[in-house]
Structure 1
Amino acid sequence: MYIEAKTQLQTLRDLLRFAVSRFNEASLYFGHGSASAYDEAAYLILHTLHLPLDRLEPFLDACLTTTELEQVLHIIQRRAIEKIPAAYLTHEAWLGDFSFYVDERVIVPRSFIAELLREQLAPWIENPDEIHSALDLCTGSGCLAVLLAHAFGDAAIDATDISPEALQVAQKNVTDYNLEHRINLMQSDLFAGLEGRRYDLIISNPPYVSAESMAALPGEYRHEPRNALASGEDGLEATRAILREAADYLTDQGVLIVEIGHNRDALEQEFRQTPFTWLETSTGDEFVFMLKRDQLPH
C-alpha cells in the first residue's frame, strides 16, 4: 500500500487523507498530544515538511517532491504500524506555548500541572515573588521545571529523577531554554538525595498507573519508560511516599502539588483525615491535589 502511495499521491491534501485512513485502520490511540487521527496526521505532515504547525490550509494543494513524499510516507508508516507516539517520531512535545525535546528515555509530557503553572498557581500561591525555592520531583524531560522557572522568576529550582537517562533529556531542555543558572538537575529516588533541603513549593507528576491499568495500556504507551508510569499494585506507591516525606522538605508555609491520574477516590479513602484541595484543570478537579505543610499526614 505504501509503495503504491508513492506513485499515486501528489499533494499534501492527498497525504492527509491517506494518513487519516491508515491511522483509523490501525486503531491508533491518541493520548500524547493530539485528539484525533486528523489532528495527528496534520501535525506529522506539517512537522516533516518544516511548515508552520498552525497553517495547514494554504498548503493543502501543494505538490510534494519525491523526497518529501518519501519522508512523509515513512513517518506515517511508522506511526501506523509500530504505534510509536508522534512525539517520539518528531522529538517534539508541546505544553501550551512551550516546545520540549523528547525521546523514549522519558514519557511524553502531558501534565495538568502545566496548565496551573501558566497562572502561577493562582489563587493558591498568593504572592509568586515569595517563592524562592522550588522542587520538581520526578522531572522526566524537565518540562515542568522549565515552566516553574518561567512562572516564578525569583525561584531557585531543583529538578530530580531516579533515571539518569531521563536527566540527560532534561539537561537538553534546560539548556535549550538557557536555564542552567536557575535549574539544578539531580538524580534522586524521590526525596532520597535531598536531605537538608527545604522548598517553598514542591510539584510532582510521579508514576501513578496501577498494575491492572498497566496491563491494559494501548500499544503507544509501551514505548514509554515503564518506571515513569507504574506505581505498584494500586498506582499510589509513589504518592504515599511523597505524602509521608514531603513535610520534611517544605518550609513552614510551603505548598505541595501532586498529580495522581484517576486515583482520587482511592487516595481520599486511604487518607481520610487529610484535607486535600483538588485543583481545577481543563478536564475537572480529580487529578491534581494541593496540601500545605501543616496539612500533610503525620
Structure 2
Amino acid sequence: MSKLWTIGSLLQWTQEYFAQKGVDTPRLDAEILLAHVLQKERIYLYAHYDQPMNPPELAAYREMVKKRAGRLSVAHILGTKAFMGLDFRVTTDVLVPRPETEMLVETMLDAAKSQPPASILDIGTGSGAIILSLLHYLPETAGTGVDISPQALAVARQNGEALGLADRVTWVESDVCAALPEQRFDWIVSNPPYLTRDDMERLQPEVRYDPPQALFGGDDGLDAYRRIAEQSQAFLRPGGCCAVEIGVGQTEDVVRIFTNTGAYRHKKTVTDYGGIERVILFIRKEQM
C-alpha cells in the first residue's frame, strides 16, 4: 500500500482481496472497517471516493484487513456488534450476537403487549444482548442474566453499564440454574448452545473464534435444552413464558423435551425471515 490510495481505490482492492480469501461479504466488510478507521458513517465513503488516505489511516486499516483475511469476524475486530438497534461490546469470551437471535427478542416483545413481565431470567447470557435488549425496550422490567463463564459475565456487566441498565439487571455465575437464589420469574429466555458434533466439524472459520461452550450442545445438540427444561421449572411462575432459540430441524425434539417434563405446554413456534423455525415459546402450566 505504498502508492497513493483513495477511499475508492482502497475499497475496490480490499473487496477483491477479501473475495480471494473466501470472505462472504467482501464489499460490506471493507466498507465497515474503513468507515471505522475514518470514524465516519458508511455513506461518507460513497461521497468521498477520491479522498486520499493518509499513512496513519492506511496503517490502521492494513492491520484490520489482515485480521479479516485471517477470518476473524468484523465484530471481533471492532469489538462491537449491533443487535436490536443497540451496540454491544464483544470479545472472544462471548458468542457474537446473531441476527436470527433478534427473533427471540422480538417474540418476547410481542408477548409483552398482552402479558408484560416484571422480571426476566436469561440463561446463558453471554454478552447480555438478549436480556439487555429486553430491558431496554421494556422499561418497567428488571432481569437476571446467568452464565457459567465469569469472563462472559464481565463483558455482560460492561454492556449493562454502557446501556445505562446496570441498576435493573443482576448477573449470576451459574451452570444453568444451579447457583440461582430461590425466586420466581415471569419470563425465562435462552439462546443455548445447540450445535451437534457434526455441526462443530463444519463451522465457518469466523465462528471458530466464538467460545466452544456457547456453541456445542452435545452429540445431538440437545443437551442444554434437557437441562433448561428440567431446571427452569422451579424458577418460572405458573402461567409464565419460557422462550428458547433453536437450531435447524430441532423443533420436534425441543417441544418433546419441554412438554415431557409435565411443567410446560407448547404455545407456538416462530419462523424467521428465512423460513426456518427459530424460536419456541412455552407456557408454565398452572398445575402439574
Counterpart in the other structure of 1:169: 155
Residues 118 and 151 in structure 1, CA contact (< 8 A), matched pair in contact too: no
Q: Which has the higher strand share?
A: 2
Counterpart in the other structure of 2:178: 192
Residue 246 of structure 1 aligns to a residue whose secondary structure is helix
Pair 1:71–1:162, CA change in 2 (3 A):
same
Separation in 2 of the partners of 1:78 and 1:267?
39
**Cα deviations across residues 258-288 of structure 1 (Å, max 9, x unaligned)?**
0012142552585486635112333235111
Residues 1:48 and 2:43 are matched in the alignment: no
| 1:233-252 pair list within 5 angstroms | 233-252=219-238
Separation in 1 of the partners of 2:84 and 2:45?
19
Counterpart in the other structure of 1:26: 21
Residues 1:278 and 2:269 are matched in the alignment: yes
What residue identity is the alignment partner of 1:22?
A: Y
Per the TM alignment, residue 64 of structure 1 is displaced from its structure 2 partner at its CA by 0.6
Pair 1:280–1:266, CA change in 2 (3 A):
closer
**TM score, norm. by length of structure 2:** 0.91
Residue 17 of structure 2 aligns to a residue whose secondary structure is helix
**Cα deviations across residues 14-38 of structure 1 (Å, max 9, x unaligned)?**
111111111111112x4xxxxx211
Query: Please, what is the CA RMSD of the aligned residues?
Result: 2.2
What residue identity is the alignment partner of 1:58?
A: A
Counterpart in the other structure of 1:127: 114
Per the TM alignment, residue 93 of structure 1 is displaced from its structure 2 partner at its CA by 0.3
What residue identity is the alignment partner of 1:204?
A: S
Residues 9 and 15 in structure 1, CA contact (< 8 A), matched pair in contact too: no
What residue identity is the alignment partner of 2:5?
A: Q
Counterpart in the other structure of 1:294: 285
Which of residues 73, 82, 100 is equivalent to 1:85? 73
Segments of 4+ in structure 1 off by > 6 A?
none
What residue identity is the alignment partner of 2:39?
A: H
Counterpart in the other structure of 2:59: 70
Pair 1:9–1:221, CA change in 2 (3 A):
farther
**Cα deviations across residues 91-116 of structure 1 (Å, max 9, x unaligned)?**
11011321111111111111534245
Separation in 1 of the partners of 2:234 and 2:58?
57
Residues 263 and 287 in structure 1, CA contact (< 8 A), matched pair in contact too: no
Aligned length: 283
Per the TM alignment, residue 9 of structure 1 is displaced from its structure 2 partner at its CA by 5.0
Residues 45 and 72 in structure 1, CA contact (< 8 A), matched pair in contact too: yes
Pair 1:208–1:54, CA change in 2 (3 A):
farther
Which of residues 74, 81, 94 is equivalent to 1:106? 94
Residue 275 of structure 1 aligns to a residue whose secondary structure is strand
Separation in 2 of the partners of 1:139 and 1:211?
22
Structure 1, unpaired ranges of 5+: 1-5, 31-35
Residues 278 and 285 in structure 1, CA contact (< 8 A), matched pair in contact too: no
Counterpart in the other structure of 1:136: 122
Pair 1:143–1:275, CA change in 2 (3 A):
closer
Residues 1:96 and 2:87 are matched in the alignment: no
Residues 1:117 and 2:88 are matched in the alignment: no
Counterpart in the other structure of 1:11: 6
**Cα deviations across residues 97-137 of structure 1 (Å, max 9, x unaligned)?**
21111111111111534245357531x33435x41111111
Separation in 1 of the partners of 2:192 and 2:28?
28
Identity of aligned residues (%): 29
What residue identity is the alignment partner of 1:277?
A: K
Separation in 1 of the partners of 2:134 and 2:7?
38
Counterpart in the other structure of 1:59: 48
What residue identity is the alignment partner of 1:183?
A: V
Pair 1:120–1:290, CA change in 2 (3 A):
closer
**TM score, norm. by length of structure 1:** 0.88
